[in-house]
Amino acid sequence: MAERTWYDVSPSAARLTGSLRDIGYDFPTAVADVVDNSVAAGATRVEILIEHDGTDSRVFIADDGGGMSPPALLEALRFGTRRDYGRGELGRYGLGLKTASLSQCRVLTVVSRSSKSVVRTCARALDLDLIEEWDQWVIVDPSNAVPAVARARQWLAEGTGTVVIWQLLDRVLPEKRPEGGWARRRLEALAARTADHLGIVFHRFLEGIDGRPQLVITVNGQKVQPWDPFARQEPATVELSMQRFEIESTDNVGQVTLRRFVLPPRDRFSDPDGFERLSGPLNWNRQQGLYVYRANRLVQWGGWSGIRGIDEHTKLARAALEFDTDLDSVFNINVAKMRVILPAQLRQLIEPSVNELCVLADDAYRKTSRRETLPVPKDLGVPAEVRAVSQAAATAGLALRMAAMHTDQWSAWEQIEAVLRQQSPEVAELLGLDAV
Ligand SMILES: Nc1ncnc2c1ncn2[C@@H]1O[C@H](COP(=O)(O)OP(=O)(O)OP(=O)(O)O)[C@@H](O)[C@H]1O
Ligand SMILES: [Mg+2]
């Protein structure tokens, strides 16, 4: 370096902080990225408050995790925090806290306490207006007179933890009449969307994961309910055999797990509300597909990542694809933790298993549509007992198909079905194997 002529071209703080506001977060995903940090800090409770108060509207994200010492807090506010990560830690880029927060607000304040025995809190703020004015990467000591900071300190009187505060919500509030009813309703709607989003992406943490305390998240005092995309509580949900794949990254070999589910059609859900709830934000059709989990946190869902297209007939098929942070580079996880790219090698490996799943989901779907479109048997004079028997036989047929799939005997089963259809079409029909 010394022998070469070199020039210092440090980035312009004013320009870069401005540009980093637009790397793809919306309000719920920004909150989720901040909650990632709480989870990584071992929090068992995360309280989110979204408060409308005109231009003073604010957001609090408070956790009871391990907290940060004053030097750690300062480092946390550096774009590109200098630190190492253990396997399974949700952080990766040293950016989330800053980029997620500033995508929604102009002032980010963090108040933290790391000592269990001494009530000592530390507060630091990143103020976009100041950075723009000075064109310097500066962090300031917020005034104790700021009521939000005083409330955060109060929250931390009980134990260790961290409170993230967003103020000057320029990306959230309308420029005109931020104090009006429309702005208030917008914040209420965002709170509801945020609760739904957190219930999806952290559902495993909310349900409880072996080896770590169960997480409770509240949004404006309401407990966030986990949303299990696979309806595992439903008796009629069918899980196929789990599969593991080894994927090579540049410096190691990591494991990817695939869990496949056929969800029950509407008429086999234990209650109609359950079916509606499982429809999800994108609705049944677009919620089919792969649900990609990184270290138990759901990062992407909907669609088959190029393996096959979305199809009404396979809408009951959903599968969890799980990897740990040792495969981050292979999956190309983005900064906002909202998107991964499936490595081509993995797409090829899982394709047959995904197609098998879709065959069964298609089958389950056709059975329902046939049940729905057939003239009501009563009209045809079919007695109820006969109807019950034919339904039981159809269920038996599906169970046989599942068993073939579970034991990796699918191609053998297809031959058996073909023979049955030829030699005993009435049995094939009874078992529901006639329409493939
Ligand atoms: N709630 C918190 N409790 C304890 N430490 C925290 C908390 N929030 C942030 N930190 C510390 O601040 C650091 C920076 O956070 P930030 O979200 O910016 O980056 P990251 O989590 O390291 O990586 P990523 O950009 O992938 O989110 C974290 O690595 C962590 O050490
Ligand atoms: Mg983070």
Ligand nearest to C-alpha 38: 1
Torsion of CA 108, 109, 115, 121, to 10 degrees: 180
Q: Please tell me the chain's helix, strand, coil percentages from 3-state DSSP, rounded to the nearest 5.
A: 40, 20, 40
Residue 116, classed as helix, strand or coil, is coil
Ligand nearest to C-alpha 97: 1
pLDDT in tens, 303-321: 999 999 999 999 999 999 9
Q: Is 96 in the pocket of ligand 1 (CB under 6 A)?
A: yes
In Å, the largest CA–CA distance within the chain is 96
CB proximity list for 115: less than 8 A, separation 6 or greater: 67, 160
pLDDT in tens, 119-130: 999 999 999 999
Q: What is the DSSP letter of 403?
A: H
Q: What average pLDDT does the structure give for the chain?
A: 91
End-to-end CA distance of the chain: 69
E-strand ranges in 191-349 read: 216-219, 222-223, 238-239, 243-248, 253-262, 289-294, 297-301, 317-323
pLDDT in the model for residue 379: 43
Ligand 2 is an ion; its neighbours by CB within 5 Å are 36-37, 91, 96
- Ligand 1 probe mutation, 97, 335, 340, most atoms within 8 A of CB: 97
| Segments in 283-337 forming alpha helices (H) | 283-287, 328-331
Ligand 1, atom 27, residue with closest C-alpha: 96
Other C-beta atoms closer than 10 Å to the C-beta of 19 total: 10
Measured in Å, residue 133 CA sits from the centre of ligand 2 at 27
pLDDT in the model for residue 371: 58
Q: Is 85 in the pocket of ligand 1 (CB under 6 A)?
A: no
- Ligand 1 probe mutation, 48, 63, 64, 81, most atoms within 8 A of CB: 81
Which amino acid does the sequence have at 220? N
- Kindly report the pTM of this predicted structure: 0.87
Q: Which CATH architecture has domain 238-363?
A: 2-Layer Sandwich (3.30)
Instruction: Give whichever of 8-17, 333-342, 375-384 has the largest mean pLDDT.
Output: 8-17
Q: Is 83 in the pocket of ligand 1 (CB under 6 A)?
A: yes
Q: Is 217 in the pocket of ligand 1 (CB under 6 A)?
A: no
Q: For residue 311, what are its two tokens?
A: 């199809």
Q: Is 68 in the pocket of ligand 1 (CB under 6 A)?
A: yes
Ligand 1, atom 1, residue with closest C-alpha: 38
Q: Is 295 in the pocket of ligand 1 (CB under 6 A)?
A: no
Q: Is 46 in the pocket of ligand 1 (CB under 6 A)?
A: no
As a whole-number percent, the residues of the chain with pLDDT over 70 amount to 93
Q: Class for domain 13-223, per CATH?
A: alpha beta
Based on the number of CB atoms within 10 Å of its own CB, is 346 exposed (0-12), middle (13-18) or buried (19 or more)?
buried
